Amino acid sequence: MADIVVLGAGLVGANIAVDLSHDHTVTAVDVHQDRLNAVKSRGDIRCLQMDISDKRALQTLVTPYDLVVGAVPGFMGFETVKAVIQTGINMVDISFFPENALDLDDLAKKHNVTIAVDCGIAPGMSNLFLGHFSKTMEIDDFVCYVGGLPTIRVKPFEYKAPFSPVDVIEEYTRPCRLKENGKLVIKPALSDPEFIEFDHVGTLEAFNTDGLRTLLDTVPVANMREKTLRYVGHRELMLILRDSGFFSQEHLNIRGQSMRPLDLTSHLLTTAWAMESEEPDITVMRICLSGTKAEERWAIRYDLFDRYDPVTHTSSMARTTGYTCAAVANILVNNEYQRVGVNPPELIGMDETCFTNIITYLEQRNIHFVQSVTHGEKETQTY
């Protein structure tokens, strides 16, 4: 049993805290007392209200713990991880920050800590699969399709945000880094739309987002891309808002008040995209990779379709993201993975035992990836 502190008690952070509390002593920290009250009602979890943007206070807080879990908004993520590294405490993080996590690798090695970053569903599981198969295949093509969606479609957006709207908007504005024919290519977010059919949900629209992150540096694959999935029509609405300036971070002077359009838009969308209590949602994911193994072409695909859990009242996004993070947290506290430095999931996935343990951990929580494999003219499917 370890003593773990979870920074952030939002939708996903709360689920991580609850899941880990079954086997460990857990403290949840958040600036919002109402979130902490909700977490407290779900398990034997110590709750602490504080503003962790205060670096000194944060470092004083985490020092007594065996492991830190970061589940803060993306704009806070990089500095939070950096501050924790300086305390010499190991950490697992899921914040979708725009900075390159590998920039903290030297600092992590200096302080002799193991830092696992991007440990969610995507980035996260997508990286894990690519890292795992890169050990036995020469992969030349990789694509990840992923999206969290409300079960009930309500116009105009037909979308609800399972995490901070400002982080969702970041996906629609951040330039997308892809690999094409071995070269880094930059494309606008929301570009290259395509329609794809999925079991249980029908037609979804996929478009480019900047989700490859550390994969661009860690795994040599000639063609790589990530695409976000939404109901058909949502992408067009986001293009209109983005191209009209609603997502701009430039300050405007309006009636003597300085304001960024992004702040107003995210404030309004917080209400419009808010998930109702116990509102059902789904997570759809498809990972496709192909390459050569023993001079034979192989194509491997993993499909995931996950639903809101009405028994535990847990959203699908909180399940798929939170349980992945909790699986990695258990690996670290059990000393099953000890590489010092910053460790994205693809590096963890290269360890056969860690890969198997994470998949098993998710299956025990009814999260199942369906595998389809084609090599030569043969195709097999496993669950």
Angle CA 72–74–80, to nearest 5 = 55
User: Residue 127: pLDDT above 60?
Assistant: yes
pTM score > 0.75 for this model? yes
- DSSP 8-state class, residue 276: P
Q: Domain map of the chain by residue range?
A: 3-121+317-368, 125-307
Nearest to 4 by CA among 66, 62, 52: 66
* Distance from C-alpha of 181 to C-alpha of 135, rounded to nearest angstrom: 21
CA atoms within 13 A on the CB side of 36: 16
Nearest to 153 by CA among 206, 209, 230: 230
Rg (CA), the chain: 20
User: What's the pLDDT tens digit per position in 318-342?
Assistant: 999 999 999 999 999 999 999 999 9
CB-based contact 30:103 (threshold 8 Å): no
Q: Specify the CATH class of 125-307 in words.
A: alpha beta
User: What's the pLDDT tens digit per position in 137-168?
Assistant: 999 999 999 999 999 999 999 999 866 788 78
Confidence of residue 98 (pLDDT cuts 50, 70, 90): confident
* Distance from C-alpha of 80 to C-alpha of 115, rounded to nearest angstrom: 12
User: What's the pLDDT tens digit per position in 251-272?
Assistant: 999 989 899 999 999 999 988 9
* Averaged pLDDT, 51-75: 95
Nearest to 180 by CA among 121, 140, 128, 131: 140
User: What's the pLDDT tens digit per position in 25-37?
Assistant: 999 999 999 999 9
* Distance from C-alpha of 368 to C-alpha of 363, rounded to nearest angstrom: 6
The number of angstroms, rounded, from the C-alpha of 201 to the middle of its chain's C-alpha atoms is 22
- Cβ burial 205-218 (10 Å sphere, 16+ → b, else e): bbbbbbbbbbbbeb
pLDDT at 242: 96
* Distance from C-alpha of 216 to C-alpha of 153, rounded to nearest angstrom: 35
As a whole-number percent, the residues of the chain with pLDDT over 70 amount to 98
Architecture per CATH, domain 3-121+317-368, reads as 3-Layer(aba) Sandwich (3.40)
Angle CA 336–302–369, to nearest 5 = 60
pLDDT at 148: 95
Which residues make beta-bridge pairs with 287?
144, 302
Non-local (6+) Cβ contacts of 320 within 8 A are 120, 121, 125, 148, 283, 285, 304, 306, 362, 367
User: What's the pLDDT tens digit per position in 197-245?
Assistant: 999 999 999 999 999 999 999 999 999 999 999 999 999 999 999 999 9
